[in-house]
Amino acid sequence: MTTPSPFNGRYARQIAVREIGPDGQRRLAAASVLIVGCGALGGAQAELLARMGIGRLRLVDRDVVEPSNLPRQLLYDERDAAEGTPKALAAANRLRAINSQLVLDPRPGNAAADTLEGLLEGMDLVLDGTDNAETRYLLNDACVKHGKPWVHGGVAGTVGIVLPVMPGSGPCLRCLFPTPPPAAEVRTGATDGVLNTVVVQVASQQVTFACKILLGQPVAGSLLHVDAWAQTSRLARLRLVPDCPCCQRRDFTFLESAPLFPDGTPDGPHLHQP
C-alpha cells in the first residue's frame, strides 16, 4: 500500500499548527506506537493517533468488549459488546474505518513479563492504557531497560494523572513510586467510578506528550494532574532520583521476577496518592 503524501488536504489543518508543520507530519507518519490496554484510555489514544496520521499502531489487550465498557470506551458499540469481540480486534476494525492508511497490528492477549519485551520491538514509543498496577511497573521496567519512552496515565473518579517517562533524561515511574502502594492508598475505578470526560482529557494529554516526544521536543520531568469536574490542572516539575532502583541502579525487579503484588494492590484504573 502506498502511503499518501502528508501534504495532502487531509492533514492541512494539522500541518498548519506551527508546532507540527510539514516535517512534524512526516515524522508522525513514520512513527510506530505501542498501546498497552485498549479500554477507556487506550481506545481514546488510538483514535486520536489514527486521526493525526500516525504510521503504525500495535494494540495489546487481553479483554473482550462488555456492555459496562460502553459509557467510557469510545471505540466500541453495542454490537461489539453483544458479540464479546476482543478489544484489540474491535479497536483495529474501528480504526481501519477512520484511517485506511494506518498500519495496524492488533495483539489480543497479555502484556506480561514474558511477552512485553517482544512487544516493544520496532516501536518508537509506548502509551499506557492499562488498568492495573502490575502491568504499569512491568512497562516501566521494560521501557527503561530498552530505552523506550512511554507515557503513563491513570484515572479515577473525576481526576487523572499523566507522566511522560524519557529513559536516560528524566524520572521514571519508580522515581515517584519505588514500590506499589498498599491498597488503602490507591484510588480506583471500583472505589471512585470513572467520569468519561476525564478519560478523554487524560488520553488527549498523553497523546500530546507522545507527539512532543516523537517530534523531539522536551517533556522529561513533567507530572500533570487534572480534575475534570473542578476544571483544574497543574503541572509539577520532577527530578530524577539519584538512587532510583530502576532507572539508576537498573534493577528490573518487576520485569524479571513478575511479582504477584501480595500487598493487596487492586486491579482496575487507579491513581497513586501523591
Cell output for 80: 461489539
- Tell me the C-alpha to C-alpha distance, in Å, between residue 92 and each of 50, 70, 75, 106: 10, 17, 9, 6
At 72-130, the pLDDT tens digits run: 999 999 999 999 999 999 999 999 999 999 999 999 999 999 999 999 999 999 999 99
C-alpha 249/C-alpha 15 separation (Å) is: 41
**Band (191; pLDDT cuts 50, 70, 90):** confident
For the entire predicted model, the pTM comes to 0.91
C-alpha 77/C-alpha 164 separation (Å) is: 30
pLDDT at residue 257, as a whole number: 72
- Tell me the C-alpha to C-alpha distance, in Å, between residue 10 and each of 28, 199, 213: 14, 27, 23
β-bridge pairing 150-156 and 222-227: unpaired
- Tell me the C-alpha to C-alpha distance, in Å, between residue 206 and each of 4, 26, 92, 111, 231: 26, 20, 20, 19, 18
- HSE-CB at 109 with a 13 A cutoff on CA atoms is 12
Least confident segment among 10-14, 21-25, 168-172, 256-260 = 256-260
Contact 273, 186 (CB under 8 A): yes
Length of the chain: 274
Which domains are delineated in the chain? 11-272 (3.40.50.720)
Q: Which one, of 252, 245, 255, lies nearest residue 117 by Cα?
A: 255
pLDDT at residue 226, as a whole number: 97
Contact 47, 98 (CB under 8 A): yes
C-alpha 231/C-alpha 178 separation (Å) is: 30
C-alpha 72/C-alpha 76 separation (Å) is: 9
Cell output for 7: 501534504
Q: Which residue has the cell 481514546?
A: 44
